[in-house]
């Protein structure tokens, strides 16, 4: 058994760089109490058969054994305490790192939540805009169809006007009952009767001043008069048609793409 190990134990517990342990102090106190008990036993048993030296030797052996065990126990406890302190520091560092990571994650999740809310709001706006766009497209398609129908009707009316003009150029008469207009009214094409005298005062005056001129011409030369009369009315009706037609038809008639050819009259 080892003796005199007390200073070694104290020094091992108080190594530089290590924190002082309460277990070493507990061991010192416990050793003092054991010494006190051993001294008391020696005083009581001093007068019996066993000599004082034997008792002291036996007691010292027991004390050394106990001190050795206590030394090992205290060393283990000191090592456990140091390991516990180290692990506690590591756990504190890990907890701090986890707390920082958790804090950063919560902050990012909050930002992501705001971004998701913005995306949801933008999606709702996009859906609303898409719905309004569908309504607008439906209205535009409806309006486009109406404009197509109106354009087709105008085209039909223009063709009807051209057929009327061709008939007037051929026969010298406006055939009002042979054509049906879709958009343009007959008043827009022919105009009221009262407007003829206002727009052509010279023709009307000539017809009023000389009412018997046509009859005399027809009596004198019926063949040449029958041939020249349609041409004369054709020229007259073309000028009246240009004056009486709407502006769109007038622009079409006066354009370079449509030319009114006068009919050659045999003299």
- Domain residue ranges of the chain, discontinuous segments joined by +: 6-110, 185-254
Best-predicted range by mean pLDDT among 38-47, 66-75, 196-205? 66-75
Residues in the chain: 267
What is the pLDDT, as a whole number, of residue 121? 96
* Tokens found for residue 39: 């001294």
160-198 pLDDT, tens per residue?
888 888 888 888 777 666 667 777 776 776 666 454 444
What's the confidence (pLDDT) of residue 225? 42
Residue 159: is its pLDDT beyond 80?
Answer: yes
pLDDT of 23: 62
pLDDT band at 237 (very low <50, low <70, confident <90, very high): very low
Residue pLDDT, tens place only, 47-105: 455 567 766 776 777 677 678 777 878 888 889 999 999 999 999 999 999 999 999 99
C-alpha torsion angle, residues 223, 224, 230, 231 (rounded to 10): 160
pLDDT mean over 22-46: 65
Residue 25 and residue 13: Cα distance in Å, rounded?
Answer: 10
User: How confident is the model over 186-211, as a mean pLDDT?
Assistant: 53
Percentage of the chain exceeding pLDDT 90: 27
Q: Confidence class of residue 127 from pLDDT cuts 50, 70 and 90?
A: very high
The pLDDT tens digits for 257-266 are 444 444 343 3
Tell me if 250 sits within 8 A of 199, measured CB to CB. Answer: no
pLDDT at 110 over 90: yes
Tell me the average pLDDT across 118-122. Answer: 96
pLDDT at residue 42 tops 70: no
């Amino acid at each position: 058994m080892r003796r005199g190990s007390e200073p070694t134990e104290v020094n091992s517990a108080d190594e530089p760089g290590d924190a002082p342990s309460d277990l070493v102090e507990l061991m010192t106190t416990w050793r003092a109490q054991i010494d006190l008990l051993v001294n008391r036993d020696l005083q009581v048993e001093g007068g019996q058969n066993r000599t004082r030296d034997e008792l002291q030797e036996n007691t010292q052996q027991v004390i050394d054994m106990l001190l050795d065990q206590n030394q090992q126990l205290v060393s283990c406890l000191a090592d456990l305490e140091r390991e516990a302190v180290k692990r506690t520091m590591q756990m504190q560092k890990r907890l701090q790192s986890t707390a920082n990571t958790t804090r950063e994650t919560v902050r990012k999740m909050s930002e992501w939540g705001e971004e998701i809310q913005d995306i949801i709001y933008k999606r709702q706006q996009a859906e609303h805009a898409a719905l309004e766009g569908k309504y607008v497209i439906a209205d535009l398609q409806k309006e486009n169809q109406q404009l197509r129908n109106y354009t087709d009707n105008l085209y039909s009316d223009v063709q009807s006007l051209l057929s009327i003009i061709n008939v007037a150029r051929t026969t010298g008469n406006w055939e009002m009952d042979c054509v049906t207009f879709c958009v343009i009214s007959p008043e827009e094409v022919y105009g009221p009767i009262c407007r003829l005298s206002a727009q052509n005062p010279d023709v009307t005056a000539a017809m009023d001043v000389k009412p018997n001129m046509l009859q005399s011409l027809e009596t004198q030369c019926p063949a040449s008069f029958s041939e020249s009369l349609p041409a004369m009315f054709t020229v007259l009706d073309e000028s009246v048609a240009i004056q009486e037609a709407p502006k769109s038809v007038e622009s079409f008639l006066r354009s370079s793409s449509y030319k009114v050819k006068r009919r050659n009259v045999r003299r």
